[in-house]
Amino acid sequence: MQTVAVIDYGMGNLHSVAKALEHVGAGRVLVTSDAKVIREADRVVFPGVGAIRDCMAEIKRLGFDELVREVSADRPFLGICVGMQALLERSEENDGVDCIGLFPGQVRFFGKDLSEDGERLKVPHMGWNEVAQAVKHPLWHDIPDSARFYFVHSYYIEAGKPQQVVGRGHYGKDFAAALAEGSRFAVQFHPEKSHTHGLQLLQNFAAWDGRW
């Protein structure tokens, strides 16, 4: 049976992610902060919620920045929400925080005066939103284009390489909802909270060989 390591650095809704992976039959799901267990896993999930400064402080304290670079290079790897943002180069949050830098680009604040067609939009962006599939990818298998996923975020991804954007969202402005390169895939939304389409994405991840 394959193993899926959910990285625990103290900042993430790990229980719901793990339960969703178990629900789709992903294999033996291990929520762990043990670097040896993570290195030996067949697949790795990197979730996260909260302030990026706190997240990056713990990630670096534990040496998980280097560990994420290592394990994401040679096996299926999924970043979720702040786990996705941490993979970028830098975030504007908390007056600027350097991140892991696996994907070029910045994490930007939606702003206090976000609006659409004259209507003021609330920040954080919280709720269901369509994701346009920019590129065909194995993790979009059996998920219709413009399917709706559940988001909770005040900051958005401004990708440095447009070709890495495989899913796009819009909330007052366009943003990267999913990034991919090689065996790495990352999403701003929460698949574990996105019902049918989110569970399908996790099921696709469980079956994916990491090639694209």
Q: What is the pLDDT of residues 158-202, one digit of tens each?
A: 999 999 999 999 999 999 999 999 999 999 999 999 999 999 999
Residues carrying an active site annotation: 81, 190, 192
Q: Which of 127, 130, 140 lies closest to 204 in space, CA to CA?
A: 140
CA distances from 164 to 3, 66, 69, 122 (A): 27, 21, 17, 28
Query: Which residues, at least 6 apart from 130, have a Cβ–Cβ distance to it below 8 Å?
Result: 146, 147, 148, 169, 170
Complete domains list, the chain, with CATH: 1-205 (3.40.50.880)
Burial of 139 (0-12, 13-18, 19+ CB in 10 A): buried
Bridging pattern class, strands 125-133 and 115-116:
unpaired
Mean pLDDT of 90-112: 96
Tell me the per-residue pLDDT of 4-37, one tens digit each, with 9 for 90 and over. 999 999 887 799 999 999 999 999 999 999 999 9
